[in-house]
Amino acid sequence: MKLFKFLAREGHTSPFRHAIAQFEVYAPLMVARQWWKYVVGSAYYEGTGDSLDAWNESSRRYITEEPVFYTPNGDEWRSKPVSSKQGSGDIISWELGEKHTQELLAYIELGMKKYEQALADGICAEQARLFLPSYGMYVRWYWTASVQSIANFLVQRLEHDAQKEIQDYAKAVLELIRSIYPTSLEQLVSQEKAVALN
């Protein structure tokens, strides 16, 4: 325990890069694109020709998976933030939220019809997918990361001002990883930012 504390406190983080975890994640594309920022690269095992890819996402080119979309309920739409250019403010009225939920559902339905028609007309899946509304569409990927990288993700995405949707995923990652690497996480994630570590 003393060694973990010393290494983390002094910034000697290379030992934390040797412990890894892999997650299969299913999330809206808007969450996946924020998460992508935490890919650190891949490790190459000398002499074997094998590599450990940090991110492997389903592209819908070869795997047929029914498209699923994230659609906020009427009481989940948030207003623009008052004092910054990004992020969100308070929940808007249910009536206005419900209006936008219905508009989004109609938009998704139109995209799905065009996607299915393109497939029916013999268009290849890799081009037919252009008709799918993208940012709300769920994608599936494997994320392989070191404990140091996971801690960095948690520090930033458990913050109160992180986008709510990715915050929810960060909480799930924390629940899954804390029982495997409790000491490393405790040392790498500062006490001010680790909302749920204690």
Mind telling me the catalytic residues? 157
Give first-to-last CA distance, the chain, whole Å.
16
187-198 burial string, b = 16+ CB within 10 Å, else e?
Answer: bbbeeeebeeee
**Residues paired with residue 147 on neighbouring β-strands, in sequence order:** none
11 burial (CB, 10 Å; 0-12 / 13-18 / 19+) is exposed
> Any alpha helices (H) in the chain, and if so which ranges?
2-9, 29-35, 94-120, 125-128, 147-157, 164-177, 182-188
